[in-house]
Amino acid sequence: MRRFVEHVAAINRRPADKIMSFILDALRKSEAERQKQHSPGFVSVPDGSQKKSGKKWLLLVAGLLAVNLVILAAVLLRPEPAVDTSDTGVVVDIKPAAATVNESSAVPMRRQSNEIEPAAGTAPQQVAADPIASLDADQSLSPSAGKAFATFNNLRAQGVLNLPDMHLDIHVYAGQPADRFVFINMSKYKERATLTEGPTVKEITPEGVILEYGGTDFLLPRE
C-alpha cells in the first residue's frame, strides 16, 4: 500500500493521459506482494544452509559411531596373554631337572674327592721335599758353605785391605751359578769376574758376594 500511495503521489505530478497506466501497475505490484506474503509453500521451503548443517551433523555422528565400533572390536578381539603361563610352566619343569642333575652329580663328585684325598695328602710331602733336597745340594756344592768371612768394612777399617769404597747396589741370587749376578758401584758382574777396583768375584751367596783380593777372602754384604 505504501508503494501504491507513492505511485498515486507521483501520478498527481504527471500528465492526465498516463494516470490509468500507473494505477494498473500499482495494483499489479500490490497484488503480487500480497500473494507472496500469504503463499502456503513459501515459509515451509528449507534453506540451503540448513540442509548443509544437517548433513554435517549426520556425518559427525556417523564418524563417532565408527570410532566406538573400532575401539570395541579391538578390546573384544585382543588375544589373551598366554606368555605368562608358558614361562611359569618352563620354570617349573626346569627346576626338578636341575635338582636331579645336582643330586646325581654330587655322588660321583664326593666319591672322587674321597679317592683323591690320600694322594693329595702325600703329594705336598713329595713337592716340599724336592726344594729342600736341592737347597742342601747347592749348599754342599758351595765352596763357602759353613764358613764365616770378615766383611769388607771391617778389614778396611783394620787396614788389612787398601781398596776404594765399594757398595753392593743390586744382588740377584739363583740356584744355578750362571743365573747369579750383582751390581757393584753400578757395574754388573758375575762369578769369576774381576772388578774395576781390583778384587775378583769368588762367589755370589744369599748373604751377599764373596770377593778375593791379595789372597784374602771377604764378604761384601747386601744392605
Residue 119 lies in a domain: no
Structural domain that includes position 15: 2-36
Would you say residue 139 lies in a domain? no
Task: Give a yes or no: residue 165 inside a domain.
Answer: yes
Residue 204 inside a domain? The answer is: yes
Matching residue, cell 774381576? 194
The model carries a pTM of 0.38
Q: pLDDT truncated to tens, each residue of the chain (223 aa)? A: 556 546 555 555 555 455 567 677 777 777 777 777 765 554 444 555 556 667 778 888 888 888 878 888 887 777 665 555 444 444 444 444 444 445 544 445 555 555 555 454 554 454 444 444 444 445 445 666 667 889 999 998 998 888 999 999 999 999 999 999 999 999 999 999 999 999 999 999 999 999 999 899 999 998 7
In a domain, 20, yes or no: yes
Query: According to the model, what pLDDT value does residue 3 have?
Result: 61
User: Residue type for 113, please?
Assistant: S
Alpha carbon distance 29, 153 (integer Å): 154
Q: What is the CA radius of gyration of the chain?
A: 65
Sign of torsion, CA 194 200 202 204? negative
- Residue 208 domain-assigned? yes
In a domain, 191, yes or no: yes
Q: Identify the bridge partners of residue 221 per DSSP, sorted by sequence position.
A: 208
Residue 208 maps to which CATH number?
2.30.30
Q: Are the C-beta atoms of residues 218 and 208 closer than 8 Å to each other?
A: no
Q: How many domains does the chain have?
A: 2
- Going from the C-alpha of 137 to that of each of 131, 178, 202, the distances in angstroms are 10, 16, 19
Strand partners, 183: 170, 188
Residue 193 lies in a domain: yes
Percent of the chain as helix, strand, coil, to the nearest 5: 60, 15, 25
